[in-house]
Structures are given as structure tokens and as C-alpha cells.
Structure 1
């Protein structure tokens, strides 16, 4: 082979390698763009003021600055990154739920409330927690985080290790706690 042939082969080889790496870089950039798109929510709602009625009666009222809809995910969920306030109505009574953040998992019907969680019931009960889960199917509340519960009669329970309870707090199981309970004769 002469020197022109060697130079030609080297030049072609360098061009093929350069094109290969350039094509890979384009694909890599496309893959990064596609990954960002799949991480994005399907929708964003702002300044939410949603009222849910049933049989002409107001049942729930949700207020939030922002909701991210991730229904485009295999495990679909809605996120409330800027917090929410929910008013629940039953038999003319109102319960208020507040949290700094919330995630509602659509398939499991589990709600994850986080940061400064506050629950105020119509009959004077109050629950404060760092995190609180609510299972909509079983109407059950639970957490493994610290909490404080105040009953309508002034009794209280401060827990370090969590609790679980039904929605109206008539069944309540607590772990590693201190408090005072008043028993009626």
C-alpha cells in the first residue's frame, strides 16, 4: 500500500468514528430529553378551589395553590407540593385537614400528608403530626412519626412512635406515648 492509501484509510476511519460519536451524542441528548418528558406531570393546576357534592350536599372542599397530575405514570398519583386545606362535611359537621404537602395515590387510594399536618374535627378533637397517612378505602389514619392528639374533654396523647385510628378516633392505638385520658363514670 502506498502512503496515499494509508492516509485515505486513516481519514475515512477517523470520519466514521467521529460520525459514530456524534450520532451517539445526538441519541444521548434525545434520550435525556425523553427522560425529562417522562418525569414531567401530565398536567398542572393552580389556585384550586374544588367542591365535591353528593346528592346536592357539599361533602368536601379542597383548596390548594398547586396540584401536579402524574396520571401519566404507571403508579399514578397527584401531588400538592405547596400544601392544601380540605374541609370535610358530614351530617352538618365540618372537619378541617391541613398539610404543607400531600400526595394522593390513585390506585391504592392512600393519601400521604406531610409537614405541619393538622386535623380539627367538628367535635373538638385535634391531631397534630409531622406525617399522616389516610387510607380512603378503610377510612383509617396512621403514622410512624411523632404526633399530638387532643380529645374534646381535654385529654391528650403525645406519641413518639406513631399510632393508627379510625377516622372519628373512636378506635385509637398508640405506640410509645405519654398523656392523660379522662374516663366518664
Structure 2
């Protein structure tokens, strides 16, 4: 009787260990990208007067697709070149070492040595810059520096701009803030 009970217990322990390893593997798979692509060239279009017009172009040597997550995203670990076109086909070019595109929010998070170059050859330098595709808006809450041929050079901690880089704001957000009830 004792040997029968021992055999059943040992069998159950081994079967539980096998299932536990399977569960661990499922967790690893969920953290892995569902796909990987090389030499990406994605064009974002908008219908203007019943004509599809390219408003942005994202290029990257590598993309990892995490659409298997609840909050899906695409990661560009080897950098990106994002070109933003206005209605006159003039372009602003944004370069970054790394980027993440969040599909649900239409945001592109550009990080690491971010440089925005305007058609007038003005340059904005930042460590992080967001592009809101839906609102055609660029912004950052980290330090930025503007080197301009057409306007005064500037630096600050907060940056807001339309994608045409015609209406932009650079603010210094340093200092203590006291909130009172």
C-alpha cells in the first residue's frame, strides 16, 4: 500500500513540474516579439480632397512587433528616420537612436540623440521627443536646444510644436512650484 501511495505522489509531482515549465514558457513567449522585420519603410497617409497624401514616412533598419500584447507597440531598437510632410511637400526630418510606436494612442516615442531638421536647416536637439500622429503635434518635457538660422537660438525644458515647425514654443520649466489648497 505504501509503495502505491509513493508512486502516485511522485507521479503527481513530476506532472506538476512539467506543467509549471510549460506555463513558464508561455510567459516567455508573451514577452517576445510576435514578429521581426528589417529595412522598414512605412508611409502614413491622409485623405485630402479624396486623394491619399503621404504625411509621414518612418524608416528603420529593424522593427520588433509586439502586437501580441494588450497594449500593442512596435519597437525600433536600431534607430529611425521620421520624415514629416506639410501640404507644400516640404519636410521636417527627425532622427533618433530608438523609437516605439504605440498603435492605440497614435504616439511615436523617439529617444536618444533626437535631432529635428527643418526645411530652413534649423535644428532641434533633444533626448526624447514625441510625435502625435493624430494631432500632428511634436512635444517634449525634457531639455531641448534649438540651433536656428532663421530665429534666435533657444533652449528649455518644455517643447511644443506643430509638425510644420511654424508655431513652436520652448519654455524653461525649471524652478520650484508650490501648490496651495
Which category describes the TM-score, using the shorter chain as reference length?
0.7 to 0.9
The answer to which structure, 1 or 2, has the higher relative contact order (CA under 8 A, 6+ apart) is: 2
Whichever of the two has the greater Rg, that structure is: 1
Aligned to 2:134: 137
Aligned to 1:98: 95
Matches within 5 A, 1:1-185: 8-9=1-2, 11-51=3-43, 55=51, 59-90=55-86, 91-159=88-156, 161-167=157-163, 168-176=165-173
RMSD of aligned residue pairs (Cα, Å): 2.2
Q: Which runs of 5+ in 1 are unaligned?
A: 1-7, 178-185
Q: Which runs of 5+ in 2 are unaligned?
A: 175-181
Q: How many Å apart are 1:132 and its aligned residue?
A: 0.9
| Alignment: residue pair count | 168
Task: Identify the range of structure 1 (51-60 vs 32-41) with the bigger mean alpha-carbon deviation.
Answer: 51-60
Contact 2:110 2:128 (C-alpha < 8 Å) held by counterparts = yes
TM-score, structure 2 normalization: 0.81
Contact 1:166 1:172 (C-alpha < 8 Å) held by counterparts = no
TM-score, structure 1 normalization: 0.79
